[in-house]
Amino acid sequence: MTHPAIRVSNLSKRYQIGVARNGGTNFREALVELVKSPFRRFQSLSGRGSAQEDFWALKDVSFEVQQGDVVGIIGHNGAGKSTLLKVLAQIVEPTTGRIEISGRVASLLEVGTGFHPDLTGRENIYLNGAILGMKRTEIRAKFDQIVDFAEVEKFLDTPVKRYSSGMYMRLAFAVAAHLDPEILIVDEVLAVGDASFQKKCMGRIGEVAQGGRTVLFVSHSLQSVTRLCTRGILMAEGKVVACGGIDEIVRVYMSSNEHGPSQQEWSEAKAPGSPVARLRSARVRDAAGNTVQNVDIRRPVAIEMEYEVLTPGHVLAPNVHVFNSDGVCVFIALGWENNSQPQAVGRIRSTVWIPGNQLAEGTLSVAVALSTLDPVVVHYYVPSAVAFEVVDSFTGDSARGPYGGSFGGMVRPMLKWDHEPISHEGRIAGRLVA
């Protein structure tokens, strides 16, 4: 039986919020306390002092990561993901619990973690490698790859405090990802770089993972998690909610996700509209009728709106306008074909279905509208009424198939392909090609 790369047992981390402790553990903290003490006395006299309170960022966290696992850690903001990584990287001391780690650990949790600002890029590469336990010969063997990846050759002998944030970021990631640690820990820091650099980073993490090393990866991008990871850990309120295969963990997260406007309702007094009709609700739902925030790229998804007709005799056409995260309109769907008769007074529910394998992965926002077509009159148009995220993974029934690289475009249709062998003489299956 193989020994796990990481074993965490009953790990907890407590912070004290409110009034800080008296005094400090070092000169800097003691100086800060000295400066703050007059203000604390004023707070006490004014009755506005805050009581000290314990906050458990992590509480009784236990799990194991096997060697070679690529583990995505997901959860809402404040779930404890980043605190867990800092404890595993030995940046933060746990309050209670035990951690066993087998192998060298490289972490990229903040831009330039472990860098000295007064040293040059060249010197920081060797310093960081030495901190990771690498021999000088090992660092030298990887040196050119690191510099090429970071694209900082021109500034290699310049102190890193003079680097731009992008240069600093590129070099920090390049060092952490190229010095062959047994375990690589990466936080959401990749979001700092530009699009091309993020693509390089994701590709490098994929290479590290395919090389049999252990990777812990925190990201709010579910498409990145499902693309890179084989295992998942779902966290909430400082606790581990579930561990398992990444697809199952994402499904659990999707079913409990409440972080976006997947549903909205409007009261009678605030409902947008005109004297003809007004909008009462809108939501994103699946085939089972459940309101959903995250959608498997292979499954159909519906945009549903309910509106109230106030004045009879109008032919009304509901429509949806779908936008990607860059604000580009992906498509507009107009519901007129089955709605050609004047509507009577009352409440109507209109639903439009988007087939599976149609949309590209990413976050999409939906504007809902209601119009009269002849003449054209818009009775309401509500931008960003609802939103949802399309999530893709490595599956045979997705347009992605086994391909794991960047997959651009605003839509991801699964189109029909024909494949025919052609002979060297220009014949197809025995017949001459015209």
Domains and CATH numbers, the chain: 66-256 (3.40.50.300), 263-391 (2.70.50.60)
Among residues 369, 401, 362, 180, the alpha carbon closest in space to that of 260 is found at 362
What pLDDT, on the 0 to 100 scale, is given for residue 166? 75
The pairing of strands 263-265 and 239-245 is: unpaired
Q: 3-class SS at 200?
A: helix
pTM beyond cutoff 0.95 = no
Q: How far apart are CA 222 and CA 260, in angstroms?
A: 14
Q: Which two tokens stand for residue 171?
A: 């070099």
What pLDDT, on the 0 to 100 scale, is given for residue 24? 47
Q: How far apart are CA 186 and CA 79, in angstroms?
A: 16
CB 350 within 8 A of CB 317: no
Residue ranges of the chain with pLDDT lower than 70? 1-2, 18-52, 110-114, 188-196, 198, 220-223, 251, 254-260, 326-327, 338-339, 393-396, 402-406, 424-434
Q: How far apart are CA 293 and CA 385, in angstroms?
A: 13
In one-letter notation, the amino acid at residue 352 is V
DSSP structure class, residue 147: H
What pLDDT, on the 0 to 100 scale, is given for residue 120? 94
In one-letter notation, the amino acid at residue 229 is C
Task: Dump pLDDT digits (tens) for 201-257.
Answer: 777 777 777 778 898 988 766 667 877 888 999 999 899 999 999 878 876 776 555
What pLDDT, on the 0 to 100 scale, is given for residue 1? 54
What pLDDT, on the 0 to 100 scale, is given for residue 269? 87
Region of residue 153 (left: phi > 0; alpha: psi -120 to 50; beta: else): alpha
Work out the widest C-alpha separation in the chain, in whole angstroms.
98
Q: Please give the helix or strand (H or E) that residue 27 lies within, else none.
A: helix 27-46
What pLDDT, on the 0 to 100 scale, is given for residue 33? 63
What pLDDT, on the 0 to 100 scale, is given for residue 30? 62
